[in-house]
Amino acid sequence: MAEWLNSLPNILIYLLIFSVKIFEVSLAVLRIVLITKGERIIGACIGFFEVVIWVIVVATVLTNITEDPIQIFVYAFAFSVGNYTGSWIENKLALGTVKIEAIVKKIHGKQLAMELRTMNFAVTCMDAYGRDDRKEVLYMHVPRRKIKETIETIKSFQKDVVITINDIRPIFGGHGILRK
């Protein structure tokens, strides 16, 4: 394989290192996210392919490191781009679940909760007291890919709502999306 690579023009070697390293680091980002969200088996499988690719790329860079040090910079730049690309891909996949808390005026609470439930979201409501008036706190566990839709619905009821979003790892129970 080394002979084949050495027969290629340097620019093709750089492009090959760059593209393969971006792919490998993107896999690493996805692996880490999956493992932290409890998907250990999928993360382990991705890790296997990630390491195979890493060994091949590192061996390629180290083979001619003194004759062609530009490969080091290509490798390092691809690592950075791979981190960005992997996080972008993970954001588009929107893996996992978030907890959304919305603090709304009491007059909007029940009607908003009913609207969110018609959208098949589980909503838990609690009475609360704000500085000036009564409030309702709505708690929801929502798939990440539905955050935007949920926030738009909440804001359609009240523009000055307080919304917080936290990544969670659901363990047990609940309506619809939690593990049993």
- Encoding tokens for residue 53? 């690719």
Compute the average pLDDT of residues 65-85.
93
Residue 174 phi/psi, 5-degree rounding, is: 95, -175
Angle between helices 40-63 and 10-36 (to 10 degrees): 160
Round to the nearest angstrom and report the end-to-end CA distance of the chain: 49
Residue 7 has pLDDT above 90, yes or no: no
Mean pLDDT lowest among 4-8, 46-50, 137-141: 4-8
Compute the average pLDDT of residues 69-78.
94
Residue 180 has pLDDT above 50, yes or no: no
Mean pLDDT lowest among 66-70, 72-76, 77-81, 100-104: 66-70
Higher pLDDT, 8 or 22: 22
From the CB of residue 113, how many other CB atoms can be counted at a distance below 10 Å? 20
Closest by Cα among 54, 85, 60, 43 to 8: 60
Residue 173 has pLDDT above 90, yes or no: no
Residue 115 has pLDDT above 80, yes or no: yes
pLDDT value of position 175 = 65
- Encoding tokens for residue 55? 């060994």
Q: How confident is the model at residue 171 (pLDDT cuts 50, 70, 90)?
A: low
Tokens 């290509």 belong to 74
Q: Which strand (E) or helix (H) includes residue 20?
A: helix 10-36
From the CB of residue 162, how many other CB atoms can be counted at a distance below 10 Å? 12
Domains of the chain: 2-93 (no CATH), 97-168 (3.30.70.120)
pLDDT value of position 10 = 85
CA-to-CA distance for 54 and 40, rounded, in angstroms? 20
From the CB of residue 172, how many other CB atoms can be counted at a distance below 10 Å? 7
Residue 63 has pLDDT above 50, yes or no: yes
Q: In what order do the strands lie in the sheet with 134-143?
A: 123-129, 134-143, 97-105, 162-168
